[in-house]
Amino acid sequence: MATVRQLPSGRFNVQIRRKNAKPISRTFDAWEDAQHWANTHEGVAKQTTRESESLTLLELGQRYCDTVLKGRPSRDIALNRVERIARHLPKRLADISRQEVNAYRQMRLSTVSPTTCRDELVFIHRLYRWAHREMLLDKGTHPSPCEDVYIPSPNKPRSKVIERDELDRLLAALPLTMRPIVELAYETAMRRSEIVKLTARHVHLSDRVASIVEGKTGDRDVPLTQRAVELLREALERVERPDARLFPVAPHSVTTAVRRARQKAGLSPDVRIHQLRHTRITNVAKKGLNQAQIMMVSGHRDVRSVQRYTHLNVKDVVELLD
């Protein structure tokens, strides 16, 4: 609601207060200007509220992805997640109940891992919180339906370190086009999306560095092993333009190829493309590098993330003591 008051200076101050939102104000010399501004902005606020109240979960999720995740690699993943959830919860935000979310939780737990179900419920709750904060939705009329719904505990993180013989068996079962991608993941700790986005201009073999542009944690340079240099040199010989991708495949195609090769080779289910990143970071830590040096390889910005990716055991520490 807008209120206009005259200040001791003779000017007119306008304040517009809305529930669950910071008030906005402005001061004018003339009462007519203050009243006009108040009527205009109050009308805009009411219109925005009406539009927000008719939003469905799908529309909110799409707006969140286009606003918060714009330009990030995670945008497409989040959009797919929103569309998947919205097929089961197609109602307006205000009409989705805790009982429906709980039924969705039970349904998902019968088909996916507890970690996946947990991520989806947390994502729904995040959308509502964002709508309360950024779109000024009333928490009273649009409460998060995830409140008081049991959130499954995440699975125990994988601690598998892939041995060289396991990697060799995996590579032998892979299509030729996928082998250099998988081996680069093992040699550099790069993510699959970072590898498939590499172009000729991103690779600097003389410096033994590959530049990651718009990665998960931003831009960074990755140090290359001798084997990584060989793999990238071979890839460079196959491209004709500096802006051409060295490995023109989709990220999910790499994951699918690794899963099929793992099954064909009879390897553990823990042998996955992302576990190769864990393995390289662990191998780097075994060499005795400090945290800052390890983070240059991994691209992490948080020491706690490095610790989750580093799977050292007592024997590794004993060898470093001597």
Nearest to 20 by CA among 141, 122, 101: 141
Whether 149 is covered by a domain: the verdict is no
Query: Do 297 and 247 belong to one domain?
Result: yes
What residues contact residue 105 under an 8 Å CB cut-off, 6+ apart? 117, 121, 149, 150, 152
Is there a single domain that holds both residue 211 and residue 292?
yes
pTM: 0.64
139 belongs to a structural domain = no
Q: How confident is the model at residue 312 (pLDDT cuts 50, 70, 90)?
A: low
- Angle of helix 273-286 versus helix 251-265 axis, rounded to 10: 80
C-alpha to C-alpha distance for 300 and 192, rounded to whole angstroms:
15
Same domain, 202 and 296: yes
Q: 189 Cβ partners below 8 Å, 6+ apart?
A: 222, 276, 277, 280, 281, 284, 297, 298, 299
Q: Is residue 240 part of a domain?
A: yes
Q: Does the residue 306 lie in any domain?
A: yes
**In this structure, are 202 and 269 located in the same domain?**
yes
Same-domain status, 72 and 204 = no
Q: How many CA atoms lie within 13 A of 243 on its CB side?
A: 0
Residue with tokens 């802006």: 243
Residues 107 and 129 in one domain: yes
Among candidate residues 52, 70, 93, the one where a domain is terminated: 52
User: Do 224 and 188 touch, CB atoms closer than 8 A?
Assistant: yes
Give the residue numbers spanning the domain of 40. 2-52
What's the full length of the chain, in residues? 322
C-beta of residue 82 within 8 angstroms of C-beta of residue 62: yes
Separation of alpha carbons 128 and 30, rounded Å:
40
Q: Is the pLDDT of residue 120 over 90?
A: yes
Domain boundary among 36, 52, 68: 52
- Together in a domain, 193 and 286: yes
What's the average model confidence in pLDDT over 274-282?
85
Tokens of 54: 């008719």
Same domain, 186 and 317: yes
Q: What is the CATH number of the domain that holds 290?
A: 1.10.443.10
Inside any domain, residue 147: no
Let me know whether 95 and 192 are in one domain: no
Alpha carbons 104 and 89: distance in angstroms, whole number: 8
Q: Are residues 292 and 173 in the same domain?
A: yes
30-73 per-position pLDDT tens digit: 888 888 777 766 654 554 555 566 789 999 999 898 888 887 76
In a domain, 104, yes or no: yes
Confidence band (pLDDT; 50, 70, 90) for 317? low
Q: Answer yes or no: do 203 and 309 share one domain.
A: yes
Residue 113: inside a domain: yes
> Do both 110 and 70 map to the same domain?
yes
Residue 214 vs residue 198, higher pLDDT: 198
141 within domain boundaries: no
13-27, 45-59, 281-295: which is most confident: 281-295
How many structural domains are present in the chain?
A: 3
Give residue 9's identity as a one-letter amino acid code: S
What is the average pLDDT value for the chain, to the nearest integer?
A: 83
